[in-house]
Amino acid sequence: MLGEDSAAGEGSWFGPASSGSWETARQIVETAPATYWLATVRPDGRPHVMPILAVWVNGMLFFAAGQGTRKARNLVLNSRCVVAVEQEPLDLVIEGSARKTRDDETLRRVAERYATIYDWHVTVRDGAFHDTEGAPTAGPPPYDVYEVTPRTAFGLPVGESFGPTRWHFGQS
């Protein structure tokens, strides 16, 4: 779990004299049924950006992708990615890497979160998500689940409620 102790903030969250809190930024977005945007890198180096539905579990960001989708194929070759979301009062941009998670307990917790936030109900089987209807942003089932390990994140104000903030998390 990434908390305030593991993220070094620069800038201001609640005013020019106050350093921004990663935990506060994460809490703003973690229960919102928002559309996130995932940027990956194609084999030829061109960017690829698609909307995704993402969830937070124990302070970590997860998303699902069909195994044959462009985003999943890109992540096999290059795990580096950017995930962005807007949830008043901030735009949050996370640079890092994504890796598949196959742990059944983690997958169950992620599935519960998807059901709670997006009303998307899946079955965990064979280290992936399965459903009968498909997910518009994830491609056809089965779905691999990815955990995003942030390297740098940016909190940008929607309106003028705070100043821009950058957090560093170390290497990813």
Give the span between the Cα atoms of 88 and 148, in whole angstroms.
22
Q: Which pair of structure tokens corresponds to residue 146? A: 């990815």
Q: Which own/partner contact pairs does 107-110 have at CB distance under 8 Å and 24+ positions apart? A: 107/145, 109/57, 109/58, 110/55, 110/57, 110/62, 110/64, 110/145
Q: Once rounded to an integer, what is the mean pLDDT over residues 2-25?
A: 53
* pLDDT confidence of residue 8: 55
- 166 is a domain residue: no
Higher-confidence residue: 90 or 161?
A: 90
> CATH no. for residue 151?
2.30.110.10
Per-residue pLDDT reduced to its tens digit, 34-83? 999 999 999 999 999 999 999 999 999 999 999 899 999 999 999 999 99
In a domain, 170, yes or no: no
On the question of pLDDT at 17 being above 50, the answer is: no
The pLDDT value given to residue 171: 60
Residue 29 in any domain: the answer is yes
Looking at residue 172, what is its pLDDT? Answer: 44
Let me know if residue 167 belongs to a domain.
no
- Asked whether residue 164 is domain-assigned, the answer is no
Q: Which of 42-46, 118-122, 155-159, 160-164 has the lowest mean pLDDT?
A: 160-164
Angle at 91 between CA 152 and CA 8, to 5 degrees: 30
Q: How many CA atoms lie within 13 A of 161 on its CB side?
A: 12
pTM: 0.86
Question: What is the tally of structural domains in the chain?
Answer: 1
Domain range for 88: 4-159
Q: What is the pLDDT of residues 89-142, one digit of tens each?
A: 889 999 999 999 999 999 999 999 999 999 999 999 999 999 877 676 777 789
